[in-house]
Structure 1
């Protein structure tokens, strides 16, 4: 049985059309016909070539009609990026030939432009040695370019680049008003308009404008990738970007991509139809948008739109939800088979949206932005299916306390025991007793405060204490904010500065007992917290005394190398070699460590515990302090870790054989609980495979409770293969010998 045959039907709801679209069936059929029947070279003079040439020119004529370009050139390209390069090179060469070079010459682009525009401007400005000054045109909170800025800078500009519609927000610019401003201030400036997101979504009448260049891309409108076209106004300078056989009247050499052009022909024909088209009118698209927005609000009632009417095309919904980062919602939706994005597909690894930053929106909106985009060929059935799938997530976010409702709280499987939550390098911990429904929070950080409060309130837990291991110098504690969010008032006369109850050395929360141990050195007031479960010592929260792969720094105010050494030796005696050490920072994705592991990774620590003279220890800490003081980012310790890799990486096509080879293999689903509820891993695997749902936030808890055994053969799975690889490395460090990672995760199984 192949991995593909294993997969149960979880239909994909694709809502990321601004990144790319599926190929419309008529376009795919046209491309296939061109490849198999009308495969001639348009440059050939025989009948087969003549037919191909006719197809090419008919498509060119249709393009003219659709964009309202009765004059000028239509040049077929490989896509928008090539069109952008050609436009910029042409304009800059013309400027250089006219002597318009140097720092006083301006190249202007909208600050929310696709990265292809500013990066191309920078590249060719340098390569062609124009050496102009490149400036971003500011936008307002609605994403509209600043007309006053343009009015001031246009006199010095040789090129200005704007968008018809933005790929992240759907914000459209008023091209008529822009043209009036641009040509009244500088009639000779070269003007490029990125029209990639415009065709099929807004009316274009390029013949009645003075736009010099307008690139278009096929794969954004149901054609295959690798085909597009560029409009060039009559009289605008043009320099062929690709020279050779003289195709496209010498404007773009190279044999034309006739299958792609045939697909464009089919798309253009559908757009040109007055009745029966695969594309829907604007009123229908606005109706779809409202239906999708209503469905989203059933899941996230506090949803905030980052762009809205009357400034947008109807096919883009850009939103943020208070308390959520983009990745949280992306993972949730992806597990449910709903494909959305966190902005531009070309900037998917950027934690914030540069577009929303340019609009001046709050950080939480930029960090949490989600783009849902559909195409103008979406059917009523597809819209209803998407809305239905989205609404189903309302129960998931309620169950896992991602959003609080009036539903009766239940203690779901993962909301008990030890939970390790992470934000970048910051770690927060929740200890929950399922029997007494009591909780203790350790080292709360502000980015996780709402999430922690939702768990406490949503599960109806009694918050016994909120404690910091020390006063953090790199971030503010969320202790007071968390108590307020949880509806509790801190009684300052009953706790110390870290939140530990006065005149008590022990805290009890059901089956858990916590003991305080003074461990100064990193800071003078620092403590470690020993965690006992049913009288058994299970773990210790050590703050920044020891980090996974590192030792806390001592060059801060109140820090002491001698005190830190004493604290580490005290912890080693109290805890033993194999007790889990849980830190307040994790810079290297180590999650946790033990003294035996830490000594193996850091000979300096082993020397300290052997009671060797302190001179070498102190010299190394001073060297560490110098390194930390020289970096631009604040770190609470120097971490240098080389992780062991997973035992092996399993390719999706080899999954069946791997599972059959060792039937007792335990499959570990390391996705977070809300992802597991949104889309069960069992959908992708045979029915007889044993699956353990073990999110990364519960990895430490699993080791404490011996849920995993070192001799077991484990296959770890997540959505993309990234988190499962991290978990493999962590377990390998902890002595697990047979740990495997499914490459590409469920994404390559779906």
Structure 2
């Protein structure tokens, strides 16, 4: 099997899984309990928080554990909207955000908030000047993703942050789910107020995640109850998941330069190969993240290619795993100027450090066969 769908989810690292099992068996106490086992579990929870904070160069009190990216994005957006509703009901985002963001925006619109959706250019990026023009006195939140999950386009976060320095009351939220080990957000020195991460995107168990909330920024809690996470996110903590995620985060951020070099080399090998195919269109811009390559075969729907590769033991995706089964997929591609018909051909390869050059060569052999078969249909 060749797994090229790492932007959708990653395989749990074996040592990370071992940590999860060990903690589940030995430190199974509730962190809220007063007895020794509860105290030991609390200690591990705090240790995990400190480790993640250290790797992000932020304070431990700025890291809060969640169930993943969807919860984190919902909390950042709704928590800001509800907390700051007395100061304004205008939000700015992009047209190519993850469904966790876009669907949340749609819900807020039904509740009376106004949302400005910024377009993207041919490189899949928002224009900071257009964002600045969209700012209003009643703007309370700007939400822009770090790396697009469909095309790999990297958004100009520093430029946006510089603009927002003149608007200190506005929350700046970043969906950073695809960025771990690939993009240093420099949270400790940046204008970013809220950054969301998901464990299963960096070889940790599913159902784990965390959000960075800059000190002094207030979010209304979405989950109320026993007052866990300093009263901001209630619910008994998933300590085995948190400990495993902290370990996975450390492994994912170590030697990030080496990681980027390897992924760039793998992606370049694929890019050079696909560029030679007359009927192939490359959707990912040259400046995209090294782990994502989006392309399509002219007049061939993406799912046809996905299933043809699957029969040969190669797993890829169409676009976002969270929108691949919906009819409104491909917005990141149409936003770059391609037609809806072209967007329907999209296939996404997303790489990880577990992928090899040998797998790339095997993919070429298989794709040659599929390409020739589909070219006759074409």
With the length of structure 2 as denominator, give the TM-score of the two structures: 0.93
Alignment of 1:483-494 (within 5 A): none
Q: How do 1:367-446 and structure 2 match up within 5 A?
A: 367-375=344-352, 377-380=353-356, 383-398=357-372, 400=373, 402-403=374-375
**Distance in structure 2 (CA, Å) of the matches to 1:397 and 1:142:** 26
Report the Cα distance in structure 1 between the residues aligned to 2:360 and 2:126, rounded to whole angstroms: 33
Q: Does the 8 A contact of 2:180 with 2:253 survive in 1?
A: no
Q: Counterpart in 1 of 2:343? A: 366
Equivalent position of 1:96 in the other structure = 85
In structure 2, what is the Cα distance between the partners aligned to 1:229 and 1:51? 21
Deviations 1:384-408 (CA, angstroms, capped at 9, x unpaired): 124314423313443x3x237xxxx
CA deviation map 1:71-126 (0-9, x unaligned): 7521100111111121122211232233x24xxxx211111101111211222454
Q: String of CA shifts for 1:23-78, please: whole Å, max 9, x gaps.
A: 11111111111111222222223332222222211211121122232375211001
Asked if residue 80 in structure 1 is aligned to residue 69 in structure 2, the reply is: yes
**Corresponding residue for residue 109 of structure 1:** 93
TM-aligned CA distance change 1:60 to 1:315, over 3 Å: same
Q: Counterparts of 1:370 and 1:393 in 2: how far apart (Å)?
A: 12
Aligned residue number for residue 196 of structure 1:
177
**Among 211, 218, 225, the residue aligned to 1:244:** 225
Post-superposition shift, 1:337?
1.2
Residues 90 and 140 of structure 1: CA distance in aligned 2, closer, same or farther (over 3 Å): same
- Are 1:287 and 2:260 an aligned pair? no
Distance 1:246 1:363 in 2: 47
Aligned to 1:689: none
Higher strand share: 1
Q: 1:168 to 1:272 in 2, by over 3 A?
A: closer
Please state if 1:120 is matched with 2:68.
no
- Aligned residue for 2:21? 32
Matched, 1:177 2:159: yes
| 3-state SS of 2:33 partner | coil
Mapped contact 1:80–1:215 kept (Cα < 8 A): yes
How far, CA to CA, are the matches of 2:44 and 2:338 in structure 1?
47
Q: 1:211 to 1:396 in 2, by over 3 A?
A: closer
Cα distance between partner residues in 1 of 2:117 and 2:143: 10
Count of residues in Structure 1 that have an aligned counterpart in Structure 2? 376
SS in 2 for 1:89: helix
The TM-score, its normalising length taken from structure 1, stands at 0.48
CA drift of 1:301 comes to 4.5
CA-CA distance at 1:282 after TM superposition? 1.2
Matched, 1:145 2:126: yes
Pick 1 or 2: higher relative contact order, CA cutoff 8 A, min separation 6. Answer: 2
Query: Aligned match of 2:209 in 203, 228, 240?
Result: 228
TM-superposed CA distance for 1:313, in Å, is: 1.2
- Could you tell me whether the CA contact under 8 Å between 1:68 and 1:205 is conserved in 2? yes
* CA distance, structure 1, for counterparts of residue 318 and residue 253 of structure 2: 33
Q: Tell me, which stretches of 5 or more residues in structure 2 are unaligned? A: none
Deviations 1:558-617 (A, max 9, x none): xxxxxxxxxxxxxxxxxxxxxxxxxxxxxxxxxxxxxxxxxxxxxxxxxxxxxxxxxxxx
| Equivalent residue number for residue 6 of structure 1 | none
- 8 Å Cα contact 2:318/2:348 also seen in 1: yes
Matched residue SS, 1:206? coil
Determine if contact 2:202/2:249 at 8 Å carries over to the other structure. no
Structure 1: gaps spanning 5 or more residues: 1-11, 405-450, 455-750
1:259 match: 240
Q: CA deviation at 1:139?
A: 0.8
Post-superposition Cα deviations, 1:633-687, rounded to whole Å, max 9, x if no partner, equal xxxxxxxxxxxxxxxxxxxxxxxxxxxxxxxxxxxxxxxxxxxxxxxxxxxxxxx
Aligned equivalent of 1:316, options 286, 292, 295: 292
The 8 Å contact of residues 116 and 134 in structure 2, kept in 1 or not, is answered as no
- The structural deviation recorded for 1:355 is 1.3
Contact 1:71 1:233 in 2 (8 A): no
Change (3 A) 1:33 1:97: same
Deviation at 1:227, TM superposition (A): 0.7
Q: CA deviation at 1:294?
A: 4.1
For 2:65 and 2:7, the matched residues in 1 are separated by 21
**Residue 195 of structure 1: how far off its partner (Å):** 0.4
Question: Shift of residue 297 of structure 1?
Answer: 5.3
When Rg is computed on C-alpha atoms for both structures, the one with the higher figure is 1
